């Protein structure tokens, strides 16, 4: 299996009022670029409606989860009821024309083989023309950004004049690609799409990891390769009595009494360097100078940074 095949597929939604060109792009991208699934619509309104539906469905799922957690209810398999309103899965698109893989549904509805969401699956990237009957690409971009601020958006147009490219980049498009044909062009287009989607996915993954760290009950900090605090979650700041601005950039030694600094430098850090991790009881020093015992775990990262997890130490006898 190739690297591209091993990655999650990239769902591209192409917006262009030229039906023949939409079919050409869908067929060509899926033929020449691994892991890309192309859907097509003929007007921006269809995309905005789809994004609004997705947002509403996400809010409904969030509300339903909160209700289920509080009352122990089990949602029906086919539909979710929230505050007296019912969201039925598999809504029908009653606007324009939607295509997938070069096949056109002419009755305004859309069914994609292997999908269970009625064609309303998550979009990874928008590929949009500039000149369209109802609007232009930059007005469309502004409307998308109000709904999904970070969704990758590539302007794909026959116009390549510098003024348009400059205006597009200033407005916040992720990239501009001038229309062309041939295998080399579609490989280039596919690479541009993949680059922006992977950047977006990496940013979202980092945000999720950060949210998890902030939600953790134990104190967590990250030391850079020079031993200075690079990150600390709220629990760590509370444990040590620092404001974030005061702690960031401090060397780890300032958070320990002198005797503990010698012990950690002599025994703990060499052990982490050799084995990758260490856990045990240590002594911390708060911002006001008070010392306390804590349970500590230290893990090494590949770039020389360290993740330190700390919680107040409680002996079993103290808990009884």
Ordered DSSP codes for the chain: --HHHHSPPEEEEEE-S-HHHHHHHHHHHHHHSTTEEEEEES-HHHHHHHHHHHHHHHHHHHHHHHHHHHH-----SSEEEETTEEEESSPPP-SS-EEETTEEETTS----TT-SSTT-PPP-EEEE-SB-SS-BHHHHHHHHHHH-TT--EEEEES---HHHHHHHHHHT-SEEEE---SHHHHHHHHHHHHHHHHHHHHHHHHHHHHHHHHH-SSEEEEE-TTSBEEEE-HHHHHHHT--HHHHTT-BGGGGS-HHHHHHIIIIIHHHHHHHSEEEEEEEEE-TTS-EEEEEEEEEE-TTS-EEEEEEE---HHHH-
pLDDT for the residue 60: 84
Contact 166, 132 (CB under 8 A): no
pLDDT tens digits for the chain (320 residues)?
Answer: 445 445 689 999 999 999 999 999 999 999 999 999 999 999 999 999 999 998 888 888 877 766 665 555 444 444 333 233 333 333 333 334 445 554 444 333 333 332 323 345 689 999 999 999 889 999 999 999 999 999 999 999 998 888 999 999 899 999 999 999 999 999 999 999 999 999 888 887 767 776 766 666 789 999 999 999 999 999 999 999 999 999 999 999 999 999 999 999 999 999 999 999 999 999 999 999 999 999 999 999 888 899 999 988 765 444 44
pLDDT for the residue 205: 75
Show Cβ contacts of residue 161 under 8 Å, excluding neighbours closer than 6 positions: none
Token pair 């760290």 is at which residue? 213
Show Cβ contacts of residue 76 under 8 Å, excluding neighbours closer than 6 positions: none
pLDDT for the residue 59: 84
Question: Which ranges in the chain are annotated with CATH 3.30.450.20?
Answer: 216-319
pLDDT for the residue 189: 95
pLDDT for the residue 160: 80
Distance CA 286, CA 220 (A): 15
Show Cβ contacts of residue 208 under 8 Å, excluding neighbours closer than 6 positions: none
User: What is the separation, in whole angstroms, between the first and last Cα of the chain?
Assistant: 56
Classify domain 3-213 by CATH number. Answer: 3.40.50.2300
pLDDT for the residue 202: 83
Q: Which CATH number fits the domain 216-319, given the four candidates 3.40.50.1820, 3.30.450.20, 1.10.3720.10, 3.40.50.300? A: 3.30.450.20
Contact 7, 37 (CB under 8 A): no
pLDDT for the residue 94: 33
Question: Which residues is 153 bridged to in the sheet?
Answer: 126
Sign of the Cα torsion 65, 70, 72, 75 reads negative
pLDDT for the residue 82: 29
Distance CA 116, CA 112 (A): 8
pLDDT for the residue 55: 86
Distance CA 283, CA 286 (A): 10
Using CB atoms within 10 Å of the CB of residue 147, give its burial: 0 to 12 exposed, 13 to 18 middle, 19+ buried: middle
pLDDT for the residue 19: 94
Distance CA 27, CA 40 (A): 11
Question: Which ranges in the chain are annotated with CATH 3.40.50.2300?
Answer: 3-213
């Amino acid at each position: 299996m190739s690297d591209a095949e091993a990655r999650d597929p990239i769902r591209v939604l192409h917006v262009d009022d030229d039906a023949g060109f939409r079919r050409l792009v869908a067929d060509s991208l899926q033929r020449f670029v691994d892991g890309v699934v192309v859907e097509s619509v003929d007007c921006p309104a269809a995309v905005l409606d789809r994004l609004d539906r997705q947002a509403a469905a996400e809010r409904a799922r969030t509300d339903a989860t909160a209700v289920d957690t509080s009352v122990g209810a089990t949602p029906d398999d086919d539909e979710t009821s929230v505050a007296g309103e019912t969201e039925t899965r598999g809504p029908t698109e009653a606007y324009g024309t939607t295509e997938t893989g070069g096949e056109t549904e002419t009755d305004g509805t859309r069914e994609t083989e292997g999908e269970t969401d009625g064609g309303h699956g998550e979009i990874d990237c928008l590929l949009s023309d500039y000149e369209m009957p109802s609007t232009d690409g930059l007005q469309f971009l502004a409307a998308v950004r109000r709904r999904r601020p970070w969704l990758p958006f590539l302007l794909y147009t026959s116009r390549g004049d510098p003024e348009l490219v400059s205006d597009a980049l200033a407005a916040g498009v992720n990239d501009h690609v001038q229309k062309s044909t041939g295998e080399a062009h579609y490989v280039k287009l596919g690479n541009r799409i993949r680059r922006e989607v992977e950047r977006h996915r990496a940013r979202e993954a980092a945000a999720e990891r950060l949210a998890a760290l902030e939600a953790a009950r134990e104190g967590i900090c990250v030391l850079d390769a020079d031993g200075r605090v690079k990150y600390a979650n709220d629990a760590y700041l509370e444990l040590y009595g620092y404001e974030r601005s005061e702690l960031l950039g401090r060397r780890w030694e300032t958070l320990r009494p002198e005797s503990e600094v010698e012990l950690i430098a002599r025994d703990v850090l060499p052990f982490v360097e050799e084995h990758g991790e260490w856990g045990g009881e240590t002594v911390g020093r708060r911002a006001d100078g008070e010392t306390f015992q804590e349970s500590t775990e230290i893990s090494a990262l590949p770039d020389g940074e360290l993740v330190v997890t700390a919680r107040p130490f409680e002996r079993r006898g103290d808990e009884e």
